[in-house]
Amino acid sequence: MHLVESGKVYLVGAGPGDPTLLTRKAEQLIRSADIILYDRLVNPFILQLAKPEIEIIDVGKRPYQKHIQQTEINEQIILAARRHSCVVRLKGGDPAIFGRVQEEAVALSEQGIAFEIVPGITSASAAVAKLGIGLTARNVAKAITFTTASHCKGQVEELDLHSLTQGGTLAIYMGIKRLPQIVKQIHQETKTDFPIAIFYNVSTYNEQMISGKLTTIIKQVEEQDLEMTPGIILIGKVMDMVNEKFRNINNMTRKNYLISGSRSLAIEKAFELYEAGHYCLMKIDSQQPYHKSQFKLYEQLEKELKFDERIVLDNYQY
């Protein structure tokens, strides 16, 4: 492969949402990027770690809606690499797990553009961590299968249930809309009422978890009105190992904070609050030379989000 004179593209995993789960390398790249092309589900605070003067471009796909096509995303990444030294393509979770990273890597390679894939924590790992268990467990779950219920051109494909029937764990991404079909297929083919847990907005301030059996989960989800909320589906006997003290995540008290003050102190305070399970956004600093793409996004979020408390660090005592 002949590398042309252009910048380098980093295909970066932003993790499941909680910025404290960012890898060190991911955070460093976000802070030093000359331009960022980001997915819809990336936490806006993670974008606020970027230099205020750089352009950030939303290339996120909207489930079940008309959205930007992958070929157009590839073209935007290539164009950015022609114009900038450090290009960050920021994806939710791990870019190598249903993150379309292969298509982008191939497109860059064909153009002779240098790139690097930077792993992130995938939502399945974050979900079981919240439950105090693993995706695998000795004598209970010896394997894990990652799959998706969302396929090209809207086609629904049969799930590979071999690992599940042999005692493994099944993690289904992008399957919430097709939950009834998924549950029906698994129950009919395995004749087993497996334990199941569904995590919505995992590792974010509004995360929720519903657990039950294949025969009960549809009704439980309907009662909570969560059919169109992003989520990860986990199925298998390992779900029975959840300690009761970890089942109260829906009842945790979380707040939304808007933080004002110097950029460095605001970032430090935000990480403290995220560590405690809250959600934060930094207020637009009039002293900073924001790129219009950042200013527009943060201004819109400040208007749309409901904040429980506002913190002004100039008068705030640690």
Tens of pLDDT along the chain (318 residues) come to: 455 578 999 999 999 999 999 999 999 999 999 999 999 889 999 999 999 999 999 998 665 556 789 999 999 999 999 999 999 999 999 999 999 999 999 999 999 999 999 999 999 999 999 889 999 999 889 999 999 986 655 555 678 899 999 999 999 999 998 999 999 999 999 999 999 999 999 998 888 999 999 999 999 998 887 766 789 999 999 999 886 666 667 667 789 999 999 999 999 999 999 999 899 999 998 778 999 999 999 999 999 999 999 999 975 444
Instruction: Name the DSSP letter for residue 227.
Output: T
174: annotated active-site residue: yes
Residue in 39, 239, 269, 282 annotated catalytic? 39
> CB neighbours of 236 closer than 8 A, spacing ≥ 6?
141, 164, 167, 168, 169, 170, 194, 195
Tokens of 309: 């408390």
- Classify strands 35-38 and 8-13 as parallel, antiparallel or unpaired: unpaired
Tell me, yes or no, if 283 is annotated catalytic.
Answer: no
- Who contacts 287 (Cβ-Cβ below 8 Å, separation ≥6)? none
Q: How many CA atoms lie within 13 A of 271 on its CB side?
A: 13
* Alpha-carbon gap, residue 195 to 137, rounded angstroms: 15
Read off the pTM: 0.91
Q: CB of 41 within 8 A of CB of 126? A: no
292 Cβ neighbours under 8 A, 6+ residues apart: none
Nearest to 194 by CA among 179, 183, 202, 203: 183
Among the options 25, 51, 61, 177, which is catalytic? 61
Contact 294, 50 (CB under 8 A): yes
Q: Which residues of 273-295 are buried (b: 16+ CB within 10 A; e: fewer)?
A: bbeebbbbbbbbeeeeebbebbe
Tell me, what's the pLDDT at 245? 60
Burial class (CB in 10 A: 0-12, 13-18, 19+), 245: exposed
Amino acid 276: pLDDT: 92
Instruction: Answer yes or no: are the C-beta atoms of 126 and 134 closer than 8 Å.
Output: no
**Catalytic residue status for 61:** yes
Kindly list the distances between the CA atom of residue 310 and the CA atoms of 124, 255, 303, in Å, as whole numbers in the listed order. 32, 10, 13
Q: Which of 174, 177, 255, 283 is catalytic?
A: 174
**Spatial distance between the Cα atoms of 138 and 264, rounded to a whole number of angstroms:** 45
